[in-house]
Amino acid sequence: MTPIPKSPATDRYQTYNEHRDQAQQQYDAQLAAYKEQRKRLKQRIWIIPVALVTVAMVTVLIGALLSVSMMLLFLLLMALVVTILAVTGKLEWLKVARKPKLEKFEMEMPEILPVHSVHICLQSKNLATPVTITIRDAVQYIGSDDRICREPLHFKGISHQHLVITCQTKAGNSQYFVTDQGSKNGTKLNGQKLKPFETYSLNFGDVITIATLYEFQVCSDAQ
């Protein structure tokens, strides 16, 4: 089982996915920073009521023992201290963090080229409810992502874009290929694990194992 060069269509989709993943990673980083800031605020929020109670007690004590003018002077001094801390950024942690918004991904998805020759399909072998995936496109992703997978598989362990089936047609003859998209739980072809992002040829009767659990046999859609 020797890897073959990737098709241009696969490269276009990989570039699209890389840009899309970068946008998602930026959002995830912003979300993690937001959660961390909220966590720090919750850890320190007790300081505010303690400080207010302390200032109130000291103010009443000064008013009772000294005079109202001294009490007002103390309050002005406290206000000046708080202002200085705010200006110097010492109270930055008091700011309430805003949850980031996931911006719409604007990059246009590459055009899906139709396959004009015979279609193949993947038939499940070990699922309680049989599943058949018909490969209708020159580039067809298999995974759990509803946005890019024609027939998404919502099973445990299957990545969003687990693998891709591509087709190359020459002189009316079609040849299909499979490429693992760097999935977390891997892909096997006839029991042999595929190297991520390397392309392998498919033949009728081959068995593709997704995430070490789900077996699909390559067959003609005419069957």
Residues 95/182, Cβ–Cβ less than 8 Å: no
210 vs 32, which has greater pLDDT? 210
Residues 196/182, Cβ–Cβ less than 8 Å: yes
- C-alpha triplet 136, 132, 164: angle, nearest 5°: 50
User: Residue 90 burial (CB < 10 Å; 0-12/13-18/19+)?
Assistant: exposed
* E strand intervals along 116-189: 120-124, 132-135, 139-142, 163-170, 173-180, 187-189
The answer as to CATH 1.10.8.50 being correct for domain 113-220 is no
Return the sign of the alpha-carbon dihedral for residues 55, 58, 60, 66: negative
pLDDT band of residue 69 (cuts 50, 70, 90) is confident
Predicted local distance difference test score (pLDDT) of residue 12: 59
Extents of the domains making up the chain: 1-111, 113-220
Q: And the tokens for 187? A: 């892909």
Task: Give yes or no for residue 25 having a pLDDT over 90.
Answer: no
pLDDT band of residue 99 (cuts 50, 70, 90) is low
85 vs 131, which has greater pLDDT? 131
Task: Give yes or no for residue 34 having a pLDDT over 70.
Answer: yes
Computed over every residue of the chain, the mean pLDDT equals 76
Predicted local distance difference test score (pLDDT) of residue 113: 44
- C-alpha triplet 213, 218, 220: angle, nearest 5°: 150
118 vs 79, which has greater pLDDT? 79
CA atoms within a 13 Å half-sphere pointing along the CA-CB vector of 130: 6
Separation between Cα atoms, residue 202 and residue 166, nearest integer Å: 10
Instruction: Of 104-108, 118-122, 204-208, give the lowest mean pLDDT range.
Output: 104-108
- Highest mean pLDDT, choosing among 19-33, 107-121, 172-186: 172-186
Residues 152/145, Cβ–Cβ less than 8 Å: yes
pTM: 0.51
Nearest in space to 193 (alpha carbons), one of 173, 208, 177:
208
pLDDT band of residue 4 (cuts 50, 70, 90) is very low
Separation between Cα atoms, residue 191 and residue 219, nearest integer Å: 17
Residues 182/164, Cβ–Cβ less than 8 Å: no
